[in-house]
Structure 1
């Protein structure tokens, strides 16, 4: 997953702050002179407080009382930006799946929802945890910022927790020297050389793909404190911790919990027939 070259959270924070600044500037600097000018205009017209106004008088007073365009714009957009910022930063954020690294759990062009407070409340942009809650658990499908390029969002399954010893040998996963057993659910075929297996990670039972080919990686890792070891469910077609290392806690975004839409392109209609919870 990627936000392309636009840091959307930063843009959202800047827009929200700019609108709030325009509102505050009007309240502290512009509103009082505008009120004085309006009162002076009424005095110059010889108007009492309850006197009925002609159309021309009303037009003149409305023109004086009118807020500057930028202030009006700021007041209109601030509530919108603020609500979006709060929801996106602290509650739920949508993402689109761009690759097949999490097959068969997640398909390309699935639209998912990510719980942003599952792993604690974090500051937007900085990602600093200000209110701890839960830590990522083994088996969670987690969204995080790619350590080699934090502008890019990745999604993988949490396999190793801090302190764990992870070994991947001959396409078999060992955690703390214990083999994570898998059961064959669908054998590879001539058309599809991927075998589908059921795997149990922590409390989560889920499906994975393994190709009918030789192993790409045979290696052992020890997960440092404050870091996580992640892997894609499409084990032979996933760029994950086996190749680039661990995910630090400050780059964690949230827990993926639901698929709410599948939409392949703007030239097709979105479908909602495969909406589901993510296991």
Structure 2
């Protein structure tokens, strides 16, 4: 697999008038599967939004380097962002109930994305849309239905199709399984990773589900209060040595811990001062 960086981030900071929400985050992403984990509010989604040009005012993004395929994202105009967003880099959001337009059919919403970035005949566009929806496991009878007529799993497949329809280089999946049951989580992650392999995409997965991350990703970046505090191979999560990462892993509820008290994070520890990088 080609690990040449597609995205390069060096000392990324995101500031709002009264707070810095992301502080000096650095990482690269090639044709691989990188997970970003941490508690809610740790800066995971804001980091992803910076890569998509979606940090709203009065938020300000700064970095020593923030590039996509060698292009400096810090200098991009609105038109340039519109050209790459949904085309070169795409995002899957966590809940189709809120991310999809309730008054447009699934077909219409996928078609909007194709029209934005590709010049195809009506017939070719229709065939591309149907092929893409079928490739993510959406049954043909659901293609012309409205989001409210679909289950959560089918809605998530529709959102994945919207993100993939223009063959992006990078796919960002922001908590794509949080609204799904355990069985569907595995199905959706299996679908996403399979599509990444088939399309030679890089994947940035934001998740709270560490067992899923360990199973489906290659590398992990751990964030705490806006900073990265640990980096490791995903398969090494069960034996993580950083105290914050170790607590995240051990505090997850499962069948073996039923009826017992889960570990509690000792917040007297300065986790920002303990930075591991493997």
Q: Give the TM-score normalised by the residue count of structure 1.
A: 0.25
Point out the structure with the larger strand share.
Answer: 1
- Taking structure 2 as the reference length, the TM-score comes to 0.25
Relative to its length, the structure with more helix (as a share) is 2
Q: Could you say which structure has the greater relative contact order, defined with CA pairs below 8 angstroms and 6 or more residues apart?
A: 2
